[in-house]
Amino acid sequence: MPLKKTEKLTQAANTYKSILNAMEEWVVIVDHQSKIFFINRPYARFLGVKAEDVKGKKVTDVIENTRMHITVQTGKAERLSLQKILGSNMIASRFPIIEQGEVIGAIGTVIFHDTHEWKQINTHIKALLTEQDFNHQKQLTSDKALSGASFHLNDVIGDSQIMKALSAKVKQVSSGDVTVLIRGESGTGKELYAHAIHQLSDRAESPFIKVNCAAIPENLLESELFGYEEGAFTGAKRGGKAGKFQLANGGTLFLDEIGDMPLPMQAKLLRVLQDREVESVGGTHATPLNIRLITATHRPLENLIASGAFRADLYYRINVVSIALPPLRERREDIAKLADFFLQKLSRRTGRRAPKLTVQALTAMLAYDWPGNIRELENVMEAAFYTSHDRKIPLSLLPAQLSQTPTNVAPTATDITASQTSGSLKEQLNAAERNIIKAALIECGDNRTKAAQKLGISKSTFYEKIDKYGIS
């Protein structure tokens, strides 16, 4: 005699009960009468009920805006649909349970507990896919050019803890439309991070428009940002011109060096951001705006506010989420990797084999404070690349400000940690030893046997230290 519908559900539910209760996803199972047969603990906790108390109740009496009863009636699945429960927009799926052609119930799952969580997962998946297929992504320059964004988070070089934490924060804020202020010294890569935020956002396929507020004359900045109508002023083009705000509509607008924006222009920008609409110069109609705003500056905005050079109300409007980029002197462990990256980049461009830094040269670079940050490092590597001989970059080929540091002798822990006074003595010595090993590997072309010989230690000791410091 065939089993009854409820008995079949009982067998299935008992088999997977422990698994379903352990899942983070919320799960509910109803019988052929749309009565709750099983609800897992996470879902019950969210609803504020006990699983055993709601068993046997109509699902429509327990779960707000449910469509489980419709799935039972129609026998059709509903995938990834919005459902508002207790004020939050969930993303839920519902599937009929069919046995021998007959609907005996339905199972529903809530995978994303709000739309923000879905956006964060979407951003995370984008980052993973890009990492997995980065070489392919680098070839799609024409596609990136269409949106205007040409850099991704994978273009960031460095595996120091401070950079890992920075990348994690960028991934976290990229998914939403929150306004971001990127702060950092000149040469730290502010524009790169603006590109990366856009690439990881839901607007990645939409325009990415950038404006350098310091590079445009004050009398042209308004028309450049907001556009103008035909005849708005002497020299205006026939038919007028769309401004950066109009071009960025639906996408992302990046205002670089916003700390250099003149005060009168700050007031007009604030009005546009508050009203979410823009009116071109000489125009009579406002255009509604749907943009994400990213700004950047190397200037201390708080000091500018105190001196009256920057509006406090605009500061609070743009400083919703602040991302601070560290100067190169605060991430010295990335210097060797960055230097090698720039040398390899030049090698690919010229077809010439990349030279290697000597230990003395890299030691000097590690001790230098790099006031121009990554941009300065790239320039130094370019000069050294074209002046090097025998595929070596000795200390003598580096600029005077580097070669005059107290590092033009054999490398020692004191040399490398000369300007790194944070941390205990043990931490500083470990950092120095790690940098010396990395320098030896670079000079020896990643040949570990030669690097061990150069440092005068056994191969086994060398491998132990590589494992200790996590050097790849």
Residues 210 and 320 in one domain: yes
Average pLDDT over residues 287-315: 94
CA dist 105 and 98 (Å) reads 7
pLDDT number for residue 268: 93
Average pLDDT over residues 20-30: 81
pLDDT number for residue 217: 87
Whether 193 and 170 have beta carbons less than 8 Å apart is answered as yes
Average pLDDT over residues 399-424: 51
pLDDT number for residue 453: 84
pLDDT, greater one: 171 or 142? 171
Average pLDDT over residues 43-61: 91
Handedness of CA 389, 392, 396, 398 (dihedral sign): positive
Residues 106 and 122 in one domain: no
- At 205, is the pLDDT very low, low, confident or very high (cuts 50, 70, 90)? confident
**Phi-psi sector, 257: left (phi>0), alpha (psi -120 to 50), beta:** left
CA dist 76 and 210 (Å) reads 47
CA dist 260 and 305 (Å) reads 12
Which residue among 276, 301, 326 closes a domain?
Answer: 326
- At 248, is the pLDDT very low, low, confident or very high (cuts 50, 70, 90)? very high
Residues 65 and 146 in one domain: no
pTM over 0.75: no
Residue 372 has pLDDT above 60, yes or no: yes
Residues 322 and 176 in one domain: yes
| Per-residue model confidence as pLDDT tens digits over 72-92 | 999 999 988 888 888 878 888
Element (DSSP H or E) covering residue 353: none
Residue 25 has pLDDT above 50, yes or no: yes
Residues 297 and 378 in one domain: no
Residues 219 and 201 in one domain: yes
Residue 314 has pLDDT above 90, yes or no: yes
Q: CATH code at 415?
A: 1.10.8.60
- Percent of the chain residues past pLDDT 90, beyond the cut: 44
Average pLDDT over residues 216-233: 82
Q: CATH code at 45?
A: 3.30.450.20
pLDDT, greater one: 238 or 418? 238
CA dist 310 and 304 (Å) reads 5
| Per-residue model confidence as pLDDT tens digits over 121-138 | 666 555 655 555 444 444
Which residue among 65, 90, 113 closes a domain?
Answer: 113
| Per-residue model confidence as pLDDT tens digits over 158-191 | 888 899 899 989 988 888 789 999 999 999 999 9
| Per-residue model confidence as pLDDT tens digits over 62-75 | 999 999 999 999 99
pLDDT number for residue 418: 37
Residues 152 and 296 in one domain: yes
Average pLDDT over residues 42-48: 88
Residues 360 and 243 in one domain: no
Residue 211 has pLDDT above 90, yes or no: yes
Whether 227 and 268 have beta carbons less than 8 Å apart is answered as no
Average pLDDT over residues 16-27: 73
pLDDT number for residue 15: 61
CA dist 277 and 245 (Å) reads 9
Residue 312: which residues within 8 A CB-CB, separation 6 or more? 305
Whether 90 and 99 have beta carbons less than 8 Å apart is answered as no
Which class for 170: exposed (0-12), middle (13-18), buried (19 or more C-beta within 10 A)?
buried
Q: Which residues pair with 103 in a beta bridge?
A: 98
Q: What domain range is 45 assigned to?
A: 5-113
What are 268's two structure tokens? Answer: 């007009």
Average of per-residue pLDDT values in the chain: 82
Residues 354 and 343 in one domain: yes
pLDDT number for residue 390: 80
Q: CATH code at 166?
A: 3.40.50.300
Handedness of CA 182, 186, 188, 194 (dihedral sign): positive
Residues 232 and 345 in one domain: no
Residue 454 has pLDDT above 70, yes or no: yes
The position carrying tokens 């799926």 is 93
pLDDT number for residue 458: 84
Residues 101 and 145 in one domain: no
Which residue among 92, 113, 134 closes a domain?
Answer: 113
pLDDT, greater one: 197 or 436? 197
| Per-residue model confidence as pLDDT tens digits over 417-431 | 333 444 566 776 777
Residues 217 and 304 in one domain: yes
CA dist 199 and 165 (Å) reads 19
Residue 33 has pLDDT above 80, yes or no: yes
> How many structural domains is the chain composed of?
3
